[in-house]
Structure 1
Amino acid sequence: MVNLYFQPDAQLTVPDRMVLDILQKDYEDQQKQPTSSTTEASEDSDDSAVKHTRYSSTPEDALEHEQQALETLKDLNNPTSSSFEPTVFVTVDLASITSPTLRKWVIDPYVRWARTIVRVDTDVVMLTHLFLYAFTTIPSALYMYYNFHWWHGPLHAIMQVYYMGTYTLMMHQHIHMRGILKKEYAAIDHAFPYITDPMMGHTWNSYYFHHVKHHHVEGNGPNDLSSTVRYQRDDVWHFLHYLGRFYFFIWFDLPRYFLSKRNPGLAAKACGFELASYLFYYTMFTRVNTPATVFVFLVPLAIMRLGLMIGNWGQHAFVDENQPDSDFRSSITVIDVASNRYCYNDGYHTSHHLNPLRHWRDHPVSFLAQKQKYSDEDALVFYNIDYLMITFSLLAKNYTHLAKCLVPIGDQMKLSMEERAEMLKRKTRAFTEEEIAEKWGKQYAKLK
């Protein structure tokens, strides 16, 4: 992959490596295409036949390679295929565990049993993580309330910060599919978030109400409470305003939004669960154990809400100036370890917006199947950078670094590095109310 500016991370998942390899091959083939002058010269030559070396390929070869990759990815996800491979751990792929003894007596029996518990056969990793939280987070929190030590609090908080991303994206799957376990375990599926959510920085049911019932309905449009379109996405003060509004007023703004949509039931639920969470925190802080509550509940809450908005800013920072309501042009795809290995392919954000019910293991398959559509729609694909670092790079106005992390597709392949940076910069400009009225409709604009 010599034409990528950075060496791809060695810890990329197998599907990510396959996707990146195909995109890189597309770029190499595009670079080898002759210019008009070269074509004219070859037409004057007696030896004008195109010669394909082992370093070049025909369009048919490329198409066959893509089809093989698609079939491989589908087989990895298909429980009836001999190539099926469930995800068991986020840190290592199942195929990489080669110890015969470990596989025979520990891993394979656990996988067989876990597949009878999880709703989707690929999702053994989710049961693995429920056990992880049950045997680390919960005992640590309980012991802090029983016998608090000041050294314990920060260590617990650090552990939770490490867990937060993976947990949140597991719950992302949970709220879209209304569970992650088989129906006979529905009681556990329904109950465990009420225990684990507050310890991971989420108030009860707020993720579901905001993300499923609001964000995916509005799709980063002007009425989306987490919309970026009215903000200059490389401006620190605009970001702080965006962050502050969510941080301090979401408890009020989200119920008010549901009321404006004439849905008082959702407004009551969103407000009720949020205020109930605050009352729970207050009770634990004032009547049970103050320092333990700070580290078990309040520190994760503060960090989680910061992380959610930093991440969402990066996910929707680049909005096309001509078709801002297109899912292809208002969200991005990120091929990196943090998003896809540890966070259930969260990097395929465009794919998720195109179909919010798409299973996380199907995102790379969908991307490859629609690769031409992504190219035609001028979608943005990045690698070796996650959403948090996209946000930080934007706030530092480091468009050169962002351009280096761009994987050019379609017409983007013709751009120089400087032109890529300028193209990205254009897509971070705040929309005026007049532009919002033109692009989305007057009912969305705050015109005087």
Structure 2
Amino acid sequence: MAATARPDPGPPILPERPAPWDRLALRMIRDPRDLPFVHLMVACAVTIALGLSLFPLSKLVLTGPWFWAAAAAYLLIWALWTLDRFILMLHCTSHRILFRREYKALNQVIPWLLGPFFGETPQTYFCHHMGMHHPENNLHRDLSTTLPFQRDRFGDWLRYYARFMAMTVVDLPRYFYDRDQPKMARRVLVGELSFWGLVVAMAVFVDWRATLVVWIIPVLMVRTLMMAGNWAQHAFVDPAHPECAYRNSITCIESRYNRRCFNDGYHIHHHVKARCHWSDYPGEFETNKALYGEKDAIVFRGLDFFLIWVLLMTGRYRVLAKAMVELPGAPERTLDERVAFMRSRLVPIAEPEVQS
């Protein structure tokens, strides 16, 4: 089931004489390696225009089943062309600001103008990921921690998913208030209330069908995918060292997902050095492969997080074992030993008792 291995992308090669629009973009962004993000923002704007066209068309042309056919076509374009890349652009630009100081207002375009059309309510992703997930590092105070669960059971994932879907809008502001970060709490609340207020207004006063397709379905889809992805990223945790990024995260190399999504598969180093530029991950892994082996890290070749989630939920351990990368300095294992090793890292991990 693993894809054919191909190298993951390094820094994009800029032409010696960029097009005029690229020269303008390069003057505005902080790092020329992020020029693909500007191109992607344009593609996302085109996708959004297609989605917004459903509102007038639903009144003028697309009646009955024709509307739902057009909606399905839009969602296919949305999902296959821009969705995955947008999510990882949002991720990268949350860690590393895209536009220079003199154009700083443009840094709000991705989370506030584009994000709501791609299932990301304004500010929630940034606050959850940057303000909570990275500081807590998947340990027990992390609202998206995987530690209490048996991480190859679908029932456990459903409990994890249901809690996130039902309670994040409550738990995340409370997390920040408890840690004396009221500004972060207000950012979450303002973003969520703004988004859902817009959704209700558009559904009631304009068209509920187009609102469902353009905003509500994307939120449900994206939050489901993100919970499956985070589960896989932090499924294999060493019970003896759950705080160690090399032992509570995984890395996926040489996958189509990395080529499309800015090397997002390199999750171990992302938790070691969160501000590492996306194009530097493959080189870092090659340089420090012995360290990964020393830490007995789990690295897969040709897989992505979502396929790993499916393989875990269906018990396909041998497929996972065959995709494991043999790291220098790590113990040599047979396929059966790899399976046993992986399963030892899927067990629930209790929160340590506080010493009085």
Residues 204-353 of structure 1: matches in 2 within 5 Å? 204-353=122-271
CA 1:391/1:278 → structure 2, altered by over 3 Å: closer, same or farther?
A: same
CA 1:442/1:207 → structure 2, altered by over 3 Å: closer, same or farther?
A: farther
**Equivalent-residue separation in structure 1 for 2:316 and 2:51 (angstroms):** 40
Structure 1 segments, 4+ long, off by >4 Å, are 107-113
Q: 1:85 aligns with which of 13, 17, 29?
A: 13
Matched, 1:171 2:82: no
Q: Is the 8 A contact 2:149 2:156 kept in 1?
A: yes
Partner of 2:55: 145
**Equivalent-residue separation in structure 1 for 2:276 and 2:2 (angstroms):** 30
Matching residue's letter, 2:28: I
Q: Is the 8 A contact 2:3 2:255 kept in 1?
A: no
CA 1:324/1:155 → structure 2, altered by over 3 Å: closer, same or farther?
A: same
**Equivalent-residue separation in structure 2 for 1:247 and 1:7 (angstroms):** 31
Quote how far apart the aligned CAs of 1:413 are.
Answer: 5.2
| Worse-superposed segment, 265-274 or 234-243 | 265-274
Partner of 1:423: 341
Q: 1:123 aligns with which of 22, 31, 34?
A: 34
Q: Secondary structure at the match of 1:421?
A: helix
Q: Is the 8 A contact 1:8 1:383 kept in 2?
A: no
Partner of 1:191: 109
Q: Is the 8 A contact 1:236 1:395 kept in 2?
A: yes
**Equivalent-residue separation in structure 2 for 1:108 and 1:418 (angstroms):** 54
Q: 2:5 aligns with which of 2, 9, 14?
A: 9
TM-score of the pair, normalised by structure 1: 0.73
**Equivalent-residue separation in structure 2 for 1:212 and 1:254 (angstroms):** 12
* Larger Rg computed on CA atoms: 1
1:252-308: CA deviation from partner (whole Å, max 9, x where unpaired): 111111122122332232223212221111111111111110111011111000000
1:333-365: CA deviation from partner (whole Å, max 9, x where unpaired): 101434311111101111110111111111122
Task: Provide the alpha-carbon RMSD of the alignment.
Answer: 2.2
Higher RCO structure, 1 or 2 (CA under 8 Å, sep 6+): 2
CA 1:7/1:270 → structure 2, altered by over 3 Å: closer, same or farther?
A: closer
Quote how far apart the aligned CAs of 1:175 are.
Answer: 1.1
Q: Is the 8 A contact 1:336 1:386 kept in 2?
A: no
Aligned residues: 347
Q: Secondary structure at the match of 1:341?
A: helix
Q: Secondary structure at the match of 1:116?
A: helix
**Equivalent-residue separation in structure 1 for 2:257 and 2:143 (angstroms):** 23
Matched, 1:384 2:302: yes
**Equivalent-residue separation in structure 2 for 1:275 and 1:216 (angstroms):** 24
Quote how far apart the aligned CAs of 1:142 are.
Answer: 2.4
Structure 2: gaps of 5 or more residues: none
**Equivalent-residue separation in structure 2 for 1:258 and 1:144 (angstroms):** 38
Matching residue's letter, 1:165: D
Partner of 1:398: 316
Quote how far apart the aligned CAs of 1:117 are.
Answer: 3.3
Partner of 1:25: none
**Equivalent-residue separation in structure 1 for 2:291 and 2:196 (angstroms):** 45
Matching residue's letter, 1:143: S
Matching residue's letter, 1:13: D
Matching residue's letter, 1:9: A
Q: Is the 8 A contact 1:166 1:342 kept in 2?
A: yes
CA 1:145/1:355 → structure 2, altered by over 3 Å: closer, same or farther?
A: same
